[in-house]
Amino acid sequence: MANLKEVRTRIKSVKSTQQITKAMKMVSAAKLRRAQQRIQQVRPYADKLSRMLSNILFNLEGDANISFGVERDVKRTLIVVVTSDRGLCGAFNTNILKAAVNTINTQYKDVYEAGNLDLLFVGKKGYDFFKKRYSKANHITDHMHVIGSPEFGPISKLARELMEKFESETYDAIEVAFGSFKNAATQLPEVEKYLPIASLDAGETDDNKKSDYVFEPSKKELLDTLVPSILEIKFQRYVLDTSASEHGARMTAMDKATENAEELLGDLKIFYNKARQEAITNELSEIVGGAAALESA
């Protein structure tokens, strides 16, 4: 009977867990719809602006310069790690962290060894991972809350701060590790160079020729206004992509957990019925044996 009690307790526990995973799946599905709508609206705009900015850089003549496109010897680097605040979303955060670690170990190993690599965290999971590792890096946690409420105001403030740090030569390169949203079931980790801006190669232009842009008002005035706005939108895409990816990954993980709980319940019920049948059979055998003993006496 002790086994039956243990199985009943286990069944009750699995049912409770299943209710939680179902609820979390429904919440993530609702959040995903909103997040997916936002990133689908922003991404084409951000991608087009990024390409336009790179194209402008390619076509600039010597009389104009964009400080955000200046390539310098990389002596100090900042890597922005955009993850979620919470877990229970499968390997989503782990994949982003692996991509960030790979970038550090391959591209910026010497910078890190020299103590000139900083890590800025958007989301707690990135900080939880790196705080126990890469002790030579400076960990910046002022903007971890941005992922919890990905509004344009806080994102714009962070993007402006990054631009100021690059322009003042505090950093020579800024990379962003984030989750790229494809669909509810697919989220890909990416590491993209945020600054300096990469101009298009000649082969990437439509006709392999420089375009003759007409700037109105002056070229410098227009670029000083246009470039920071484009970079703000670009950084917003990183955060919104990661937010949508998080909800998609969590919804998928909770759906799978609910299915696994259902399978486990089926196995436990079969085991419970077998154990109950065995207990009843043993009791009947004891009764029949006792009655036979009394008759023989």
Q: Where are the domains of the chain?
A: 21-253
pLDDT digits (tens, 9 = 90+) for 117-140: 999 999 999 999 998 888 899 999
**What's the average model confidence in pLDDT over 232-259?**
93
Which residues partner with 173 through β-bridges?
77
Candidates 175, 84, 169; CA nearest to 137 is 175
**Architecture, CATH, for domain 21-253:** 3-Layer(aba) Sandwich (3.40)
Top-confidence residue, 22 or 150: 22
Confidence tier at 295 by pLDDT (50, 70, 90):
confident
Calpha distance 284→292 (Å, rounded): 12
- List, in sequence order, the alpha helices (H) in the chain: 2-59, 92-107, 109-113, 124-130, 152-167, 219-296
What whole-number distance in Å separates Cα of residue 252 and Cα of residue 240?
18
pLDDT at 200 over 80: no
Residues near 201 by Cβ (< 8 Å), separated by ≥ 6?
58
> Is 184:251 a contact under the CB 8 Å cutoff?
yes
Per-residue pLDDT band at 188 (split at 50, 70, 90) = very high
pLDDT band at 278, cuts 50/70/90? confident
From residue 22, alpha-carbon distances to 26, 28, 47 in Å are 6, 10, 36
Instruction: Please say if the pLDDT value at position 91 is more than 70.
Output: yes
Summarize pLDDT for 59-81 with one digit per residue, the tens. Answer: 665 545 578 878 889 999 999 99
Instruction: Return the SS3 of 173.
Output: strand
pLDDT of residue 176: 97
Mean pLDDT of 254-283: 88
**Which tokens go with 186?**
């697919």
For 7-53, the pLDDT digits (tens) are 888 999 999 999 999 999 999 999 998 888 888 888 888 888 877 77
**Which pLDDT score, from 0 to 100, does residue 61 have?**
56
> Residue with structure tokens 């100090």?
76
Comparing CA positions, the residue from 93, 90, 98 lying closest to residue 125 is: 93
Task: Report d(CA 71, CA 241) in Å as an integer.
Answer: 27
At residue 273 the predicted structure's pLDDT band, cuts being 50, 70 and 90, is: confident
